Amino acid sequence: MQRRSEHVTQTRQRIVDAATELFSKQGARATTMNEVARLAGVSPTTVSNHFAAQEQLIEAVVDRVFADIQVPNSTIFNGVRTLTGRLGVLTTSMYAFFERTSHWFELLGAELVEVPALARAQAAFWASIQQLYEQALGGSNDHLLAKTTAGLLHPATFSALKAAGMSADEAAAVVAGLLAHQARGGHR
């Protein structure tokens, strides 16, 4: 019984590995269950036994990708006590995250809102990021600073700065400096 359970787990792992590889090259919608089966070295029926619908397979891939991409969490603020310090750490963490995941954002594009499992994952991601923004702002009632933070710490802003020739580190330093200036009252 133990060997059977291990075999089932390994087969499921191979299927998720194959689906993740295919998704990373062609997106979720373009990946078929038959392609996944072929790459995993199993029959299409085996894939269906593990994942009754493509939506379930997409959810498993999303779980895998989220585990691999290291989404910033509240631990980034450990030991950081000032508002400008938290904004700096947040900026550096988010821009490093965008650098690591830009391939996924570009590849999936419209699928992030059109494929239900991806839309749910994206909504959960942005909810967790919103919590980080709120934690970074640490009770500040400066609504303009909150809006500026959300706008400057967005993948589109990151992409624009990269397209202008900045490295991820340069972009993070510039944006952190702007946010620190605004946090100190530079916007008044």
Answer yes or no: do 77 and 153 share one domain: yes
CATH code at 43? 1.10.10.60
Tokens for 44?
Answer: 């299409």
- Per-residue pLDDT at 42: 96
Kindly report the average pLDDT of the chain as a whole number: 91
pLDDT at 188: 47
Same domain, 100 and 155: yes
pLDDT at 40 > cutoff 70: yes
Q: Per-residue pLDDT tens for 43-99? A: 999 999 999 999 999 999 988 888 888 889 999 999 999 999 999 999 999 999 999
> How many Å apart are CA 119 and CA 122, to the nearest integer?
5
- How many domains does the chain fold into? 2
Its domain, for residue 21, covers 2-54
For the chain, count helices (H), then strands (E).
10, 0
Burial zone of 44 (CB within 10 Å; 0-12 exposed, 13-18 middle, 19+ buried): middle
Which residue bears the tokens 């070295």?
Answer: 41
Tell whether 178 and 100 lie within a shared domain.
yes
H or E segment to which residue 122 belongs: helix 116-137
Report the C-alpha gap between 159 and 141 in whole angstroms. Answer: 29
Amino acid at residue number 104 = W
- Sequence letter at residue 124: A
**What would the two tokens of residue 52 be?**
């009754």
